[in-house]
């Protein structure tokens, strides 16, 4: 288990995505390919852009420092390796500006799990689990796939920088 905290303000996700990244990352947007979209995420070492089931809307985001706890009501659950280098993680939507939604985490390697469910026409619940691990994880994993995901294996573990 772990300690959970609800982040404020609510996340405004758009372009069917939201971003989780280390504060040291200057350009957190990832260049999405069809394969990234089919698997529901695009990532680099200290940044991951998660695809959302809805195109745009607001989400309550809960962060738990600890192991992912499966729930029957999650519609999409994806785990990825994640490196914290600055001690601060930022959770943003691609069109959010001047929003401070930061979380302090000890530097190191993490297993990051994003568990999502739709609450309404433009509302989601996103639970993020940060489990600190000794060695970097090698591969991402899709635990629960909704009807919008159609991943091919092996999962694509790298992405370019958006607009680069």
Q: For the chain, what is the mean pLDDT?
A: 95
- State pTM to two decimals: 0.96
Inter-residue contact 10 to 99 (CB < 8 Å)? no
Q: What number is the average pLDDT over the span 22-47?
A: 97
Pick the CATH number of 2-154 from 2.60.34.30, 3.50.30.30, 3.40.50.1370, 1.10.3720.10: 2.60.34.30
Question: Cis bond leading into 137, ω under 30°?
Answer: no
What are the structural domain ranges in the chain?
Answer: 2-154
> What is the C-alpha to C-alpha distance for residues 161 and 159, in angstroms, rounded to an integer?
7
DSSP 26: S
The yes-or-no verdict on residue 97 having pLDDT over 90 is: no
pLDDT for 99 equals: 87
């Amino acid at each position: 288990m772990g300690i959970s905290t609800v982040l404020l303000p609510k996340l405004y996700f758009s372009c069917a995505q939201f971003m989780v990244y280390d504060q040291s990352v200057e350009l957190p947007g990832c260049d999405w390919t069809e394969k990234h979209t089919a698997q529901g995420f695009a990532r680099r070492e200290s940044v991951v852009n998660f695809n959302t089931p809805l195109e745009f809307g607001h989400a309550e985001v809960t962060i738990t420092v600890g192991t992912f706890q499966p729930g029957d009501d999650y519609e999409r659950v994806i785990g990825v390796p994640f490196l914290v280098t600055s001690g601060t993680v930022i959770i943003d939507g691609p069109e959010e500006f001047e929003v401070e939604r930061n979380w302090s985490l000890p530097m190191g390697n993490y297993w990051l799990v994003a568990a999502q469910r739709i609450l309404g026409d433009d509302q989601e619940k996103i639970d993020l689990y940060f489990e600190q691990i000794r060695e970097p994880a090698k591969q991402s994993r899709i635990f629960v796939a909704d009807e919008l995901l159609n991943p091919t294996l092996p999962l694509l573990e790298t992405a370019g920088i958006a607009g680069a």
